[in-house]
């Protein structure tokens, strides 16, 4: 609170990026956790909520006649343009936000004050939803070839690894420790995925400290042990996910890559995925393209190409495809590494797992996958996503890229995933929101020290509770696409990599399809379920009536009046269905009937603006009027009462009134 | 002419057919007057490919030893390869295909030989008469009339025999206006917006020339669509400088002095040769099997295809906006009024008129705004993206229209009664068909060819219930509103269904569509069951009550 110089500013204008004509006036509040903009106007009082942890940059622009513009860019790709009447107020807001957006202690983060009003037991249950021990058992380990090793029980060998790690049975503690000394940050080869069907596995590590000629017997033994744990294959792929040039440059620093001559029976392969700095710049360039005001098609496509973003997505996907193919088709085990083995390695291992194992394409399995390949193996969430103030050069959209790979796969295999696009978007949102403890810190060790599980809540439990909102209506567990390995195409003309406007222009609803097929089908399925229930009741009644004409057993149907039809799911969303600025020529021409038409056109069914109730938008940027009321009838699981976010807002409200 | 003269080798055995994402098939190749047929003889997996010669855009042949290979590129963008043993056979077959796929005379085309195997329930040739359209119009307004001034095609050779014009303009005036508009294409009604009584008219450019010729009747005609004291918009699909240059060749545009109540907006839409080039480049990009993402994106960008889509959609949205939001009447024209004009007027109707988003209504739109309005299909669709010849009349004008409809469909997936397959079907049949619907360049030519008597209409076939069911959108819920699409680049996508159709494994997408259909179907079945049971129960309960009394 001491950082808030200006808790409330009135007569602030919120600009619409797409249309300069649409601006709303309201009041801006700064609280300990959120920036809140409340529209003036007695009826709607639309609110926009932005978590401090979502703010990636704040830009104060030159003062104009109308006031001082403030541009807030968010990590969930929301861009907010405010105009504050007084320069001094603007400056105060700016200074306050700069500090608030860059907390220095974990304790300042939202998850430590966020209270979804669950009791202790519920919280603990929430953390137990994803259990990695269970997951390794599901994969089929321990078994004759793999065992759990306690060599890292006190994080003594590698502080960025978890305590429980699966290694080949023949790899003794001596070999593991020896190998760890020959690997960057001591991240020795460990099991990521085991393929029950053919014993092939995916292992992961960091780069070897081979320099120009160094060798390590234990490391060589370690790789041999991995190969032998797959008796059906006489060699092992070692995949270095870096461009060859980068890997070679590392040799000069005493690091590098495996020399095929020193390791018996390995096949070494480079897959050129660029480093975090290239990726950060690439995203930056792409976002600049997204921010262009009415770009031409060429501007857009050229900018997209120039950003290189889709090229990088493809590189990650190609690496995953290569590994999945090696494991599934050739039955060969693969060791994957990059430099430290916590960015590209995590991306590639998780893409490969997703392609190989249908379980990871279920909602629960996907949570497990992120927990396994990202959280437990020490992906540096805090550094990469800038949760605490730190080195800006450490920030990079590593998991964002993985999430996009999943979306690209969903576009190609529409029935293969149990979850929908919204699930991915919400996970991305919460990686940055710091509302839940899952992604705090840089390693399991740090999280244990902070007692995350005792002090914060788990995102997975929250998502699971609202799972009805995240279902893909086309998914069927018995469907052919659901079974076995996915085999995506490689060439861009066969596998169309698309720009993901649902993510990167997420808050510009006007750009998205105005009717959502997913929501529509989910509503139909929900109705179908109710019909099934009603059918059962009716059949029972019929049977009773037929059996005993005397027995007056009138079970009144719950839904005698089923007026609820899909077509009635309407929303008042005039924005979704008004013309854009198609021509500048019309501007100068006075609009004759500004009031006409809006209401009539607004009754569009199932627009995207009506995102389901557990949408983080509701806390971040909510159109609460339409959001909550409309949905209560559509989504029994989460509509009536907003779960955690709503209550989270209650606590905020207190702060915001106190402030 | 006998086709047999062109077929030296009617049959070849042990031919291997290669298609992307299909295993190679070995079989027998047969050539008939209109088809290339490959049938595999394997009992377990009998497969036949029937390809219309008129669907073939170009062929290439090459030899390795005595094994010849023919690569056939089709107008529907598919590419197939045939390995034919025997050099002579291969050469014969290649030259036959070449000759048969480039027949000059329309009357030799397949529609004149096609004998349908289905029962005609409704003759498509008379399914969409302008008279019926006018009857509908008459029920809401009496400001328009049906004119038969063109019944001999003498006033405007590219117009249909009957047109709808303002009631207060007589045929004599129309004849004068026709002389003032290129090709005689005087302004006629394209669409009447019931909601506010505004009209969209279309025509060709006025022949003002350099000395600013005027035509009082023309002014009177289009002013007749205005409410008193209101202005209208002329949407000219050429940029201002092109419109100005047109004056030197006798063309021109509506000048303010003579049309003070009209405001002119120039919205540039590309012309045919540029579009054809763009089409060729795009298809080239889509067939580039390179794994390089940069190359793909830069080729996609360089084709400019999506730019044309964006421009066209923007112009159509603008026309719709003028009518619905500004409450103004609109006149649309470019030069000839047979290409970009029709694109704009038909797309604006998709946006404005819910009827055009039904199957029947969309068919009527295609008939009214494209076929009867005189879009020269035969010239434009003579060749597709693989053609090597540099004829200058080809252009994917109709395909662009269909793609724009698809783009709007993608943004409003529940507001169209038809599905993507229906649009693809129309694309295919515009380029090669067993039906006579898209033959000829205008109604005049169709009448001379006696198409309604001698060929079958596409609509006769497609409107049969069993065919129709394949083209229905399971998500359709009638939406009576105006639908405003987004034209931002982020909102527009490549039409995979046409351009990557043969280059992607389609199974997964087809399964998804099936799943969508099943979800809806099951819901409807349950609905019916529940309703039936409810009725039954209600009856039994009243019976019981009666008994109790």
Higher pLDDT: B322 or A629? It is B322
- In contact, B526 and A531? CB cutoff 8 Å: yes
Is residue A42 predicted with pLDDT exceeding 80? no
- The reported pLDDT for the residue numbered A637 is 33
Pairing of strands B67-74, B79-85: antiparallel
Does the distance separating the beta carbons of A603 and B481 come in below 8 Å?
Answer: yes
Range 109-148 of B in CB contact (< 8 A) with A: none
Residue B120 lies in a domain: no
> Does A344 show up as a binding residue in the annotation?
yes
Extents of the domains making up chain A: 8-102, 120-519
B77 and B146, same structural domain?
no
State the average pLDDT for chain B. 93
Residue B466 lies in a domain: yes
Question: A214-263 pLDDT, tens per residue?
Answer: 999 999 999 999 999 999 999 999 999 999 999 999 999 999 999 999 99
Higher pLDDT: A642 or A358? It is A358
How many structural domains comprise chain B?
3
- The reported pLDDT for the residue numbered A52 is 94
Query: By C-alpha distance, which of B422, B439, B421, B420 is closest to B430?
Result: B439
Does the distance separating the beta carbons of B265 and A583 come in below 8 Å?
Answer: yes
Token pair 């019981």 is at which residue? B544
Burial of B548 (0-12, 13-18, 19+ CB in 10 A): exposed
Chain A residues within an 8 Å CB radius of B232: none
Nearest C-alpha in B relative to A534: B530
Residues of A annotated as part of the active site: 338
pLDDT > 70: percent of chain B: 99
Range 201-220 of B in CB contact (< 8 A) with A: none
Does the distance separating the beta carbons of B307 and A480 come in below 8 Å?
Answer: no
Nearest C-alpha in A relative to B20: A494
Query: Could you tell me the CATH number of the domain that includes residue B55?
Result: 2.30.29.30
A8-102: CATH topology: PH-domain like (2.30.29)
Total-model pTM: 0.91
Is residue B109 predicted with pLDDT exceeding 90? yes
Task: Look at A104-108, A197-201, A608-612 and tell me which has the smallest mean pLDDT.
Answer: A608-612
What is the 8-class DSSP label of residue A127?
H
State the average pLDDT for chain A. 84
Question: A372-387 pLDDT, tens per residue?
Answer: 999 999 999 999 999 9
- The reported pLDDT for the residue numbered B545 is 73
> Could you give the CA distance from residue B74 to residue B59 in angstroms, rounded to a whole number?
9
Residue B121 lies in a domain: no
> Does A88 show up as a binding residue in the annotation?
no
Residue B548 lies in a domain: no
Query: By C-alpha distance, which of A270, A305, A342, A503 is closest to A407?
Result: A503
- The reported pLDDT for the residue numbered A170 is 94
- The reported pLDDT for the residue numbered A591 is 39
- The reported pLDDT for the residue numbered A14 is 93
- In contact, A52 and A37? CB cutoff 8 Å: no
Higher pLDDT: B78 or A651? It is B78
- The reported pLDDT for the residue numbered A630 is 30
Domain span at B55: 3-103
> Does A290 show up as a binding residue in the annotation?
no
Mutate to test the interface with A, among B413, B486, B548 (most CBs of A within 10 A): B486
Q: What is the mean pLDDT of residues B254-272?
A: 93
B414 has a chain A CB within 8 A of its CB:
yes
Q: Bridge-partner residues for B60, per DSSP?
A: B71
Is residue A626 predicted with pLDDT exceeding 90? no
B450 and B322, same structural domain?
yes
Chain B residues within an 8 Å CB radius of A318: 291
> Could you give the CA distance from residue B443 to residue B368 in angstroms, rounded to a whole number?
11
- The reported pLDDT for the residue numbered B522 is 96
- How many Cα atoms occupy the beta-carbon half-sphere of A60 within 13 Å? 18
B498 and B511, same structural domain?
no
Task: Look at B40-49, B72-81, B515-524 and tell me which has the smallest mean pLDDT.
Answer: B40-49
Is residue B306 predicted with pLDDT exceeding 70? yes
B135 and B37, same structural domain?
no
Task: Look at A13-22, A589-598, B419-428 and tell me which has the smallest mean pLDDT.
Answer: A589-598
Q: What is the mean pLDDT of residues B384-413?
A: 92
B140 and B39, same structural domain?
no
SS3 of A444-500: the string is: HHHHHHCCHHHHCCCHHHHHHHCHHHHECCCCCCCCHHHCCCCCCCCCCCCCCCCCC
- In contact, A471 and A522? CB cutoff 8 Å: yes
State chain B's maximal CA–CA distance in angstroms. 97
Token pair 């495996």 is at which residue? A258
Distance from first CA to last CA of chain A, Å, rounded?
A: 8
Range 6-65 of B in CB contact (< 8 A) with A: none
B379 and B487, same structural domain?
yes
Does the distance separating the beta carbons of B301 and A301 come in below 8 Å?
Answer: yes
DSSP letter for each residue of A280-291: HHHHHHHHHHHH
A488 has a chain B CB within 8 A of its CB:
no
Nearest chain B CA: its distance from A341 CA (Å): 26
Q: What is the mean pLDDT of residues A128-149?
A: 95
Higher pLDDT: A293 or B237? It is B237
Does the distance separating the beta carbons of B414 and A515 come in below 8 Å?
Answer: yes
Query: By C-alpha distance, which of B439, B442, B435 is closest to B458?
Result: B435
Quote the ipTM score.
0.94
Is residue A642 predicted with pLDDT exceeding 60? no
Q: To the nearest 5 percent, what fractions of chain B are helix, strand and coil? A: 45, 15, 40
Query: By C-alpha distance, which of A493, A91, A339 is closest to B295?
Result: A493
Q: What is the mean pLDDT of residues A325-337?
A: 96
Task: Look at A20-24, A93-97, A395-399, B385-389 and tell me which has the smallest mean pLDDT.
Answer: A20-24
Residue B118 lies in a domain: no
Nearest chain A CA: its distance from B465 CA (Å): 25
pLDDT > 90: percent of chain B: 86
Token pair 């067993």 is at which residue? B434
State chain A's maximal CA–CA distance in angstroms. 95
Nearest C-alpha in A relative to B410: A513
Q: What is the mean pLDDT of residues A171-191?
A: 96
- Phi and psi (nearest 5°) for A616? -60, -20
Out of B103, B119, B140, a domain closes at: B103
B153 and B18, same structural domain?
no
- The reported pLDDT for the residue numbered A627 is 27
B279 and B145, same structural domain?
yes
Nearest chain A CA: its distance from B506 CA (Å): 9
Is residue B426 predicted with pLDDT exceeding 80? yes
- In contact, B394 and B400? CB cutoff 8 Å: no
Is residue B351 predicted with pLDDT exceeding 80? yes
Q: Model confidence at A573, in pLDDT bands (50, 70, 90)?
A: very low
> Does A557 show up as a binding residue in the annotation?
no
- The reported pLDDT for the residue numbered A652 is 31
> Could you give the CA distance from residue B117 to residue B112 in angstroms, rounded to a whole number?
15
């Amino acid at each position: 609170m001491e950082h808030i110089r200006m808790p409330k500013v009135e007569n602030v204008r919120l600009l619409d990026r797409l249309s300069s004509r649409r601006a709303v006036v309201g009041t801006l509040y700064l609280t300990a956790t959120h920036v809140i903009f409340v529209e003036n106007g007695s009826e709607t009082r639309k609110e926009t909520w932005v978590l401090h942890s979502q703010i990636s940059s704040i830009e104060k622009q030159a003062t104009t006649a109308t006031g001082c513009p403030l541009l807030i860019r968010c990590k969930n790709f929301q861009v907010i343009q405010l105009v504050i009447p007084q320069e001094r107020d603007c400056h105060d807001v700016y200074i306050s936000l700069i500090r608030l957006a860059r907390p220095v202690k974990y304790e300042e983060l939202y998850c430590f004050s966020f209270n979804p009003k669950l009791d202790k037991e519920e919280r603990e249950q929430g953390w137990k939803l994803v259990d990695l021990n269970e997951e390794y058992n599901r994969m089929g380990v321990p078994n004759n070839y793999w065992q759990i090793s306690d060599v890292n029980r006190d994080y003594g060998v590698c502080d960025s690894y978890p305590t429980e790690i699966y290694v080949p049975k023949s790899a003794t503690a001596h070999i593991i420790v020896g190998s760890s000394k020959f690997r960057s940050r001591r991240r020795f080869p460990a099991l990521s995925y085991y393929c029950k069907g053919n014993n092939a596995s995916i292992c992961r590590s960091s780069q070897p400290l081979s320099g120009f000629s160094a060798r390590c017997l234990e490391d060589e033994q370690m790789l041999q042990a991995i190969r032998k744990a797959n008796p059906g294959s006489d060699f092992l792929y070692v995949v270095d996910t870096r461009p060859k040039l980068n890997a070679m440059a590392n040799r000069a620093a005493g690091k590098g890559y495996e020399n095929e001559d020193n390791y018996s029976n390995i096949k070494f392969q480079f897959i050129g995925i660029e480093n975090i700095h290239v990726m950060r710049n690439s995203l930056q360039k792409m976002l600049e393209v997204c921010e262009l005001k009415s770009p031409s098609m060429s501007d857009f496509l050229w900018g997209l190409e120039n950003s290189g973003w889709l090229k990088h997505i493809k590189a990650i996907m190609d690496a995953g495809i290569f590994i999945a193919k090696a494991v599934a088709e050739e039955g060969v085990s693969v060791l994957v590494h990059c430099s430290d083995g916590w960015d590209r390695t995590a991306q590639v291992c998780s893409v490969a797992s997703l392609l190989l194992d249908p379980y990871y394409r279920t909602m629960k399995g996907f949570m497990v996958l992120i927990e396994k390949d990202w959280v437990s193996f020490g992906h540096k969430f805090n550094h990469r996503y800038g949760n605490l103030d730190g080195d800006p050069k450490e920030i990079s959209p590593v998991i964002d890229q993985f999430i996009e790979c999943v979306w690209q796969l969903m576009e190609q295999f529409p029935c293969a995933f149990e979850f929908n696009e919204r699930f991915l978007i919400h996970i991305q949102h919460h990686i940055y929101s710091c509302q839940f403890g899952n992604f705090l810190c840089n390693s399991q060790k740090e999280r244990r020290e902070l007692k995350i599980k005792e002090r914060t809540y788990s995102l997975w439990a929250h998502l699971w509770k609202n799972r009805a909102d995240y279902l893909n209506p086309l998914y069927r567990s018995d469907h052919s696409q659901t079974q076995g390995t996915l085999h995506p195409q490689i060439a861009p003309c066969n596998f169309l990599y698309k720009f993901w406007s649902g993510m990167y222009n997420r808050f510009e609803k006007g750009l998205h399809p105005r009717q959502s097929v997913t929501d529509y089908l989910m509503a139909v399925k929900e109705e179908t379920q109710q019909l099934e229930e009603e059918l059962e009741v009716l059949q029972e009644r019929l049977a009773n009536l037929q059996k005993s004409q005397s027995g007056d057993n009138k079970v009144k149907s719950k839904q005698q009046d089923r007026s609820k039809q899909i077509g009635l799911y309407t929303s008042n969303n005039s924005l979704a269905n008004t013309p854009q600025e198609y021509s500048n020529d019309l501007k100068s021409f006075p609009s004759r009937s500004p009031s006409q038409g809006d209401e009539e056109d607004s009754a569009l069914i199932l627009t995207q603006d009506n995102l389901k109730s557990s949408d983080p938008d509701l806390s971040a940027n909510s159109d609460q009027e339409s959001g909550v009321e409309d949905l209560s009838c559509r989504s029994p699981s989460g509509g009536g009462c907003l779960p955690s976010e709503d209550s989270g807002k209650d606590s905020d409200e207190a702060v915001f009134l106190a402030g | 002419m006998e086709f047999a003269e062109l077929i030296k080798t009617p049959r070849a055995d042990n031919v291997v057919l290669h298609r992307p994402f299909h295993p190679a098939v070995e079989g027998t190749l047969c050539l008939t007057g209109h088809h290339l047929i490959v049938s595999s003889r394997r009992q377990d997996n009998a497969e036949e490919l029937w390809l219309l010669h008129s669907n073939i855009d170009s062929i290439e042949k090459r030899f390795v030893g005595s094994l010849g290979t023919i690569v056939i590129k089709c107008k529907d963008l598919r590419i197939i390869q045939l390995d034919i043993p025997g050099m002579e056979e291969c050469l014969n077959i290649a030259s036959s295909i070449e000759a048969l796929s480039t027949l000059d005379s329309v009357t030799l085309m397949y529609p004149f030989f096609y004998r349908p195997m289905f029962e005609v329930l409704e003759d498509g040739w008379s399914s969409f008469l302008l008279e019926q359209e006018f009857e509908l119009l008459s029920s809401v307004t009496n400001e328009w009339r049906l004119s038969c001034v063109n019944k001999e095609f003498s006033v405007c050779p590219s117009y249909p025999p009957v047109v709808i014009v303002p009631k207060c303009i007589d045929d004599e005036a129309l004849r004068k206006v026709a002389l003032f508009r290129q090709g005689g294409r005087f302004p006629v009604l394209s669409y009447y917006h019931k909601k506010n009584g505004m009209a969209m008219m279309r025509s060709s450019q006025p022949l003002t020339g350099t000395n600013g010729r005027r035509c009082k009747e023309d002014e009177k005609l289009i002013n007749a669509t205005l409410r008193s004291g209101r202005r209208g918009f002329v949407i000219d699909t050429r940029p201002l400088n092109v419109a100005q240059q047109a004056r030197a060749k006798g063309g021109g545009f509506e000048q303010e002095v003579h049309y003070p109540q009209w405001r002119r907006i120039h919205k540039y839409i590309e012309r045919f040769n540029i579009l054809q080039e763009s089409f060729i480049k795009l298809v080239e990009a889509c067939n580039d099997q390179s794994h390089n993402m940069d190359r793909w994106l830069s080729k996609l960008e360089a084709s400019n295809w999506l730019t044309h889509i964006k421009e066209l959609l923007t112009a159509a949205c603008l026309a719709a906006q003028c009518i619905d939001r500004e409450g103004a009447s609109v006149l649309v024209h470019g030069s000839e009024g047979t290409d970009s004009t029709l694109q704009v007027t038909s797309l604006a109707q998709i946006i404005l008129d819910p009827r055009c988003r039904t199957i029947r209504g969309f068919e009527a739109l295609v008939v009214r705004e494209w076929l009867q309005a005189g879009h020269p299909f035969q010239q434009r669709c003579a060749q597709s993206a693989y053609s090597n010849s540099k004829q200058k009349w080809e252009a994917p004008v109709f395909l662009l229209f269909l793609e724009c409809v698809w783009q709007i469909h993608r943004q409003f997936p529940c507001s169209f009664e038809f599905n993507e397959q229906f649009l693809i079907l129309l694309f295919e049949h515009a380029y090669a068909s067993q039906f006579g619907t898209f033959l000829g360049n205008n109604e005049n030519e169709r009448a001379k060819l006696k198409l309604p008597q001698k060929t079958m209409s596409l609509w006769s076939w497609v409107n049969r219930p069993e065919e129709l069911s394949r083209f229905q959108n399971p998500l359709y819920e009638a939406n009576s509103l105006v639908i405003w699409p987004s034209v931002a680049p982020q909102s527009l996508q490549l039409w995979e269904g046409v351009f990557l159709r043969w280059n992607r494994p389609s199974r997964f997408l087809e399964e998804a569509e099936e799943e969508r259909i099943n979800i809806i179907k099951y819901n409807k079945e349950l609905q019916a069951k529940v309703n039936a049971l409810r009725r039954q129960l209600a009856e039994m309960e009243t019976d019981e009550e009666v008994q109790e009394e």
